[in-house]
């Protein structure tokens, strides 16, 4: 397989844009990524598009805004992990020499309120069991009982994420919140309050990748290498462990990250900056454990002690994460890649970790359709 590099990335700001179409959002993200990469759209050979709620053929209707060059436009859906799935498919095509350049796009426009995650008439929906924050809350209650963690420790994830979001001009929420505000917010699923839930969001993201051996012809100022990947769909855990879905299955994260570390030739101690899927605040706690960044049962304490802050030893979700950057489900994965790119190229400004010397970035994006892990190096 050939080495593949990310040459550029771009976003349309995340937020609520009722007057903008998917095409408006996508065009801006793609245009930003292309100019960031130095690759003109006419040189893009294939586009992979992560999107969930839009109608059929939505990928082409957005990508063709940039020109009708006749390239294949592939629509990918893996719920909240859609655009990292799009990224992985694009990466594998370029790595195997099918294409030299590829565009990865994610976009979404969402309604306010809770997502309906199961079929309308399923018994889980009618009985009020198909509730995403409740899936996280069930795991959180068990975690608190097992390890003596407190609701405040989980709430601190939200405090940290909002602090980072306040430094991100592309974030949906750019305002800090206090621990007291998070704890006093409306309870959604005990102990998860409203400020520990990611919002629904409109937004778009795009990334340009290229075979490393072909990258010199573009005026790219810098790049990062796609070093490792792993994907899974929630392996069955025997003896009653099968209730958790792929998104909240920490065992699946442990299984997959081993594969990704091995492919990348790095381990958890090498990781300088991490993006995790914090659809709900406890997600950060469970996932940093699953990724091996901290030991089992140490995640809540690590957050509480500030270790996942930008200034900490394991900075996580430096752009505000899903909680604060926002979570336009199809666009989230490529936005995670975008933040890792900014961090590894030293362009993250006030959010920059490790004095611009970050070498290894780790990414975890999960949905009810599965889990994607990516490792990047520079």
Partner 1 sequence: MTNASAAGTTTLKPLRPGMFVLPDRLDAPARLLGGRCRACGEMFFPKRAYCAGCTSGDQEDVQFGDAGVIETFTVVYQQPPGSAMVPPYAIVRVKLDDGPNVQTVAANCDPAKIRIGDRVELIVHKVMDDAAGNTIVSFMAQPAKRA
Residues recognised as catalytic: 80, 327
Separate counts of helices (H) and strands (E) for the chain: 12, 11
Under 8 Å between Cβ of 76 and 86: yes
**Following CA atoms 349, 341, 196, 20 in sequence, which dihedral angle do they give, to the nearest 10 degrees?**
90
CA proximity to 378, closest of 348, 356, 352: 356
Total of chain residues touching partner 1, rule CB under 8 A: 35
Interaction residues for partner 1, span 182-201 (CB under 8 A): 186-190, 192
Gap between the Cα atoms of 170 and 175, Å rounded: 12
Where are any strands of DSSP class E within 72-201?
73-76, 101-108, 187-189, 192-193
**Nearest approach, Cβ of residue 109 and partner 1 (Å):** 18
Cβ-based nearer residue to partner 1, 70 or 238:
238
Place of tokens 């609520």: 16
- Looking at beta carbons only, is 42 or 236 nearer to partner 1? 236
Q: Which of residues 132-161 bind partner 1 (CB under 8 A)?
A: 133-134, 137-142, 145
Q: Segment near partner 1 (CB under 8 A), from 129-137, 220-228, 275-283, 339-347? A: 129-137
Of residues 126 and 184, the one with the C-beta less far from partner 1 = 126
Question: Counting contacts by CB under 8 A, is residue 213 touching partner 1?
Answer: no
Binding string, 86-125, against partner 1, x = CB under 8 A?
---------------------------xx-x---x-xx-x
Pairing of strands 101-108, 47-50: parallel
Q: Taking contact as CB under 8 A, which single stretch among the options 87-95, 128-136, 318-326, 338-346 is the one that binds partner 1?
A: 128-136
Q: What percent of the chain is helix, strand and coil (3-state, nearest 5)?
A: 40, 20, 40
Q: Within positions 221 to 250, which residues make up the interface with partner 1, using CB under 8 A?
A: 236, 238-243
Residue-wise DSSP of 231-253: EE--PPPTTTGGGS-GGG-HHHH
Instruction: Note the residues at the interface with partner 1 (CB under 8 A).
Output: 113-114, 116, 120, 122-123, 125-131, 133-134, 137-142, 145, 186-190, 192, 236, 238-243
């Amino acid at each position: 397989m050939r080495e593949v590099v990310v040459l550029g990335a771009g976003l349309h700001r995340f937020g609520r844009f009722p007057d903008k179409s998917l095409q408006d959002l996508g065009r801006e993200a793609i245009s930003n990524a292309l100019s960031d990469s130095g690759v003109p759209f006419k040189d893009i050979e294939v586009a992979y598009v992560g999107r969930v709620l839009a109608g059929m053929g939505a990928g082409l209707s957005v990508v063709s805004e940039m020109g009708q060059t006749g390239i294949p436009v592939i629509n990918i859906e893996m719920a909240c992990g859609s655009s990292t799935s799009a990224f992985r498919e694009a990466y594998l095509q370029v790595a195997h020499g099918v294409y030299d350049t590829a565009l990865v796009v994610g976009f979404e426009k969402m309604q306010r309120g809770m997502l309906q995650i199961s079929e309308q008439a399923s018994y889980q929906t009618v009985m009020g069991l198909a509730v995403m924050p409740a899936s996280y809350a069930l795991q959180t209650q068990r975690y608190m009982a097992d390890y003596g963690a407190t609701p405040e420790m989980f709430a601190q994830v939200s405090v940290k994420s909002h602090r980072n979001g306040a430094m991100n001009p592309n974030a949906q929420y750019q305002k800090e919140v206090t621990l007291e505000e998070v704890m006093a917010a409306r309870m959604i699923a005990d102990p998860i309050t409203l400020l520990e839930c990611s919002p629904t969001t409109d937004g778009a993201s795009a990334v340009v990748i290229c075979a490393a051996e072909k990258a010199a012809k573009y005026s790219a100022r810098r790049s990062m290498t796609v070093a490792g990947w792993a994907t899974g769909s929630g392996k069955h855990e025997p003896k009653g462990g099968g209730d958790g879905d792929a998104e909240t299955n920490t065992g699946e994260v442990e299984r997959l990250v081993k594969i990704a570390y091995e492919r990348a030739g790095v381990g958890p101690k090498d990781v300088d900056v991490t993006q995790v899927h914090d659809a709900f605040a406890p997600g950060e706690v469970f996932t940093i454990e699953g990724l091996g960044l901290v030991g089992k049962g140490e995640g809540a304490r690590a957050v509480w002690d500030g270790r996942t802050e930008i200034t900490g030893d394991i900075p996580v979700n430096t752009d505000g994460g899903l909680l604060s950057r926002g979570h336009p489900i199809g666009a989230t994965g490529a936005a995670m890649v975008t933040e890792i790119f900014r961090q590894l190229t030293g362009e993250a400004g006030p959010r920059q970790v490790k004095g611009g010397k970050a070498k290894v970035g780790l990414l975890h994006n999960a949905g009810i359709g599965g889990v994607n892990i990516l490792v990047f190096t520079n």
